[in-house]
């Protein structure tokens, strides 16, 4: 019983901190299950995928209802994230766990560096970093009319090709490492495709379901998801994320963000040790 409660608590902590810091819980679930409960990395990834599907569902509904998420754009891009996730899910079962640990360490360092940069950017006075001006459509493209239909009322989607390529990459990363893929998708949509940050974040959240499903099916059918571990973890993450989304506006996350960067780097160090076979 105590192990079950600890798993529930670990999931809640992952969901709470992930929600407060604008990350999915996935980046924390895998290290918690791997280092805290001695689960094989691949099994932890399978459980994490289910947890991010459950957690993203509630907020995706709200984003759609409020018309913040762009359904058309999300569906076009999730075709590519699903392809990436399918490939990643198959590759995950071919890779040695030490390779997965090395890849996870690289992801943790990437997220820590990105958070550090964002903290520095927030501290410095700047203009509106949350949106980009609408870009002019490229009339030479035959698919311009279709792309126009993906645009919002106050922004225009551009460069669908790089967006699709980035989405395949996000799907592969999601399937290999058990995360939602927002760490890749949001920058791709915002910086490469000209989608406002708020819309990119909401649309990415909507896409997590289909992206993670394409690979979770592979983990599920190959015995990579244990219901006794997935249940408490997913419920914990859901409760933690719900609490986080309701208290985020009351919490000063600056200190929390710095603490989190330290935790991510320490976890990356432990993952590197595992990758090298010394942990």
Partner 1 sequence: MNLERAIARLVTAGTYVSVGLLAFGVVGLLAAGRSPLDGGPSLDPGQIVGDIVALRPEGFLWLGLLVAIASPAARVMLALGGYLRLGERGMAVVAVLILGVIALSVGLAIGTEG
Q: Which spans of this chain sit near partner 1 (rule: CB under 8 A)?
A: 1, 3-5, 7-8, 37, 50, 53-54, 57-58, 60-62, 64-65, 67, 71-72, 75-76, 78-79, 82-83, 85-86, 89-90, 146, 149, 209-210, 212-218, 220-223, 225-232, 234-235, 238
Report the residue number, 5 or 259, with the smaller CB distance to partner 1: 5
Question: Residue 132's closest CA among 166, 106, 157?
Answer: 157
Report the residue number, 61 or 161, with the smaller CB distance to partner 1: 61
Closest approach of Cβ 59 to partner 1, in Å? 9
Closest approach of Cβ 194 to partner 1, in Å? 20
Closest approach of Cβ 44 to partner 1, in Å? 12
Report the residue number, 16 or 112, with the smaller CB distance to partner 1: 16
Report the residue number, 55 or 267, with the smaller CB distance to partner 1: 55
Closest approach of Cβ 167 to partner 1, in Å? 12
Report the residue number, 70 or 260, with the smaller CB distance to partner 1: 70
Closest approach of Cβ 114 to partner 1, in Å? 26
Closest approach of Cβ 40 to partner 1, in Å? 12
* Other beta carbons less than 10 A from residue 279's beta carbon: 12
Report the residue number, 54 or 184, with the smaller CB distance to partner 1: 54
Q: What is the DSSP string of the chain?
A: -HHHHHHHHHHHHHHHHHHHTT--THHHHHHIIIIIS---HHHHHHHHHHHHHHHHHHHHHHHHHTT-S-HHHHHHHHHHHHHHHHHHHHHHTTS-HHHHHHHHHHHHHHHHHHHHHHHHHHHS--S--S--PPPPP-TT-TTHHHHHHHS-SS-----HHHHHHHHHHHHHHHHHHT--SHHHHHHIIIIIT---HHHHHHHHHHHHHHHHHHHHHHHHHTT---HHHHHHHHHHHHHHHHHHHHHGGGS-HHHHHHHHHHHHHHHHHHHHHHHTT--
């Amino acid at each position: 019983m105590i192990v079950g409660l600890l798993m529930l608590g670990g999931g809640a902590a992952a969901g709470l901190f992930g929600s407060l810091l604008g990350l999915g819980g996935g980046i924390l679930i895998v290290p918690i299950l791997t280092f805290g409960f001695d689960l094989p990395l691949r099994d932890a990834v399978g459980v994490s995928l289910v947890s991010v599907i459950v957690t993203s569902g509630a907020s995706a509904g709200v984003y759609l209802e409020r018309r913040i998420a762009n359904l058309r754009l999300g569906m076009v891009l999730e075709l590519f994230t699903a392809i990436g996730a399918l490939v990643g899910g198959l590759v995950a079962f071919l890779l040695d766990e030490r390779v997965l640990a090395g890849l996870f360490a690289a992801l943790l360092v990437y997220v820590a560096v990105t958070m550090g940069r964002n903290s520095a950017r927030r501290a410095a006075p700047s203009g509106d970093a949350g949106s980009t001006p609408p870009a002019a459509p490229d009339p030479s493209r035959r698919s311009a009319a279709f792309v126009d239909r993906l645009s919002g009322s106050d922004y225009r989607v551009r460069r669908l090709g790089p967006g699709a390529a980035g989405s395949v990459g996000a799907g592969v990363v999601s399937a290999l490492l058990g995360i939602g893929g927002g760490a890749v998708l949001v920058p791709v949509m915002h910086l490469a495709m000209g989608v406002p940050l708020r819309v990119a974040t909401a649309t990415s959240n909507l896409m997590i379901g289909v992206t993670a499903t394409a690979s979770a099916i592979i983990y599920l059918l190959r015995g990579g998801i244990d219901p006794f571990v997935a249940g408490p973890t997913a419920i914990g993450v859901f409760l933690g994320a719900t609490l986080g989304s309701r208290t985020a506006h009351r919490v000063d996350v600056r200190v929390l963000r710095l603490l989190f960067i330290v935790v991510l780097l320490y976890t990356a160090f432990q993952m590197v040790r595992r990758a090298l076979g010394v942990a």
